[in-house]
A and B are shown apart, each in its own frame.
Chain A
Amino acid sequence: MSIEHFLDNSISSWMAGVGKHSDIVMSTRIRLARNLNGYRFPLAFTEDEAHKIDQSVSATLLDASDELQMQFSSIHIKDVSELSRQVLVEKHLISPKLANSPMTGSVLLSNDESVSVMVNEEDHIRIQCLFPGLQIQEAYAQADVLDRVLDKELSYAFDEQFGYLTSCPTNTGTGLRASVMMHLPALTMTKQMNRIVTIISRLGMVVRGIYGEGSEALGNVYQVSNQTTLGKSEEDILADLQSITEQIIQKEREARDALLKHSANTLEDRLYRSLGTLSFARIMATDEAARCLSDVRLGIDIGLIEDVDVSILNECMVFMQPGFLQKYAGTSLNTSERDMFRAKLLRERLQKEEKQKTKGEESE
Chain B
Amino acid sequence: MICENCKQRPAKVTVTQVHNGEHFERHYCEVCANSLHPFYVEYKQDPLSLHQLLSNWFSQTEQQPMQQKQQKNTIACDECGWSIQRFLDEGKFGCANCYNSFRPQLPNVFKRLHNGNMKHIGKAPGALGEKIAIKKRIEAIRSQMKDAIDTESFEEAAKLRDEARDLESQLSTGGDQTDVN
Chain A residues proximal to chain B, CB less than 8 Å: 35, 37, 39-41, 43-45, 122, 151, 155-170, 172-174, 176, 204, 227-234
Contacts and interface: CB of A to CB of B under 8 A. Distances in A.
Nearest to A170: B113
Sorting the interface of chain B by its residue count into under 10, 10 to 19, 20 to 34 or 35 or more gives 20 to 34
22 contacts: A37-B96, A39-B95, A40-B79, A43-B94, A44-B80, A45-B95, A151-B129, A156-B126, A157-B96, A159-B99, A162-B119, A163-B120, A165-B93, A165-B96, A166-B93, A169-B93, A169-B109, A172-B110, A173-B120, A204-B115, A231-B116, A231-B120
Given A44-B82, A151-B129, A233-B121, A168 B114 contact: no
A158 B93 contact: no
B96 A232 contact: no
Contacts of B119: 161-162, 230-231
Given A230-B114, A230-B117, A162 B124 contact: no
B114 A173 contact: yes
B122 interface: yes
A75 B125 CA distance: 27
B23 interface: no
Contacts of B82: 44
Given A44-B82, A156-B126, A170-B50, A165 B99 contact: yes
B125 A158 contact: yes
Nearest to B91: A168
Contacts of B6: none
B126 A151 contact: yes
B90 to A, nearest CB: 7
B92 interface: yes
Contact of B122 (A44, A168, A169, A232): A232
Given A35-B96, A40-B79, A167-B93, 15 more contacts: A40-B94, A41-B96, A44-B94, A45-B95, A160-B120, A161-B118, A162-B110, A165-B93, A168-B50, A169-B50, A228-B114, A229-B114, A230-B118, A231-B115, A231-B117
B158 interface: no
Dominant SS at the B interface?
loop
Nearest to B110: A230
Contacts of B95: 39-41, 44-45
Contacts of A163: 120, 122, 124
Interface of B: 50, 54, 79-80, 82, 90-96, 99-100, 103, 106, 109-110, 113-126, 128-129
Contacts of B106: 162, 169
A157 B128 CA distance: 12
A159 B115 CA distance: 20
Contacts of A37: 96
A174 B123 contact: yes
3 tightest A-B contacts by CB?
A: A231-B117, A163-B120, A157-B96
Nearest to B82: A44
A229 B119 CA distance: 10
A156 B113 CA distance: 23
B155 to A, nearest CB: 30
A230 B116 CA distance: 9
Nearest to B126: A151
A317 B111 CA distance: 39
A228 B117 contact: yes
A231 B113 CA distance: 11
A158 B121 contact: no
B110 A156 contact: no
Contacts of B128: 158, 160
Nearest to B94: A44
A169 B110 contact: yes
A173 B114 CA distance: 10
Nearest to A44: B94
Nearest to B81: A44
A165 to B, nearest CB: 4
Contacts of B91: 168-169
Contacts of B93: 41, 165-169
Given A43-B90, A165-B99, A151 B125 contact: yes
Q: Could you say which of B82, B90, B94, B106 has the most chain A C-beta atoms within 10 Å of its C-beta? A: B94
A157 B129 CA distance: 13
Contacts of A227: 114-115
Contacts of B129: 151
A162 B118 CA distance: 7
B177 to A, nearest CB: 14
Nearest to B100: A159
A130 to B, nearest CB: 21
Nearest to B121: A233
B130 to A, nearest CB: 10
Contacts of A166: 93
A185 B123 CA distance: 37
A43 B80 CA distance: 10
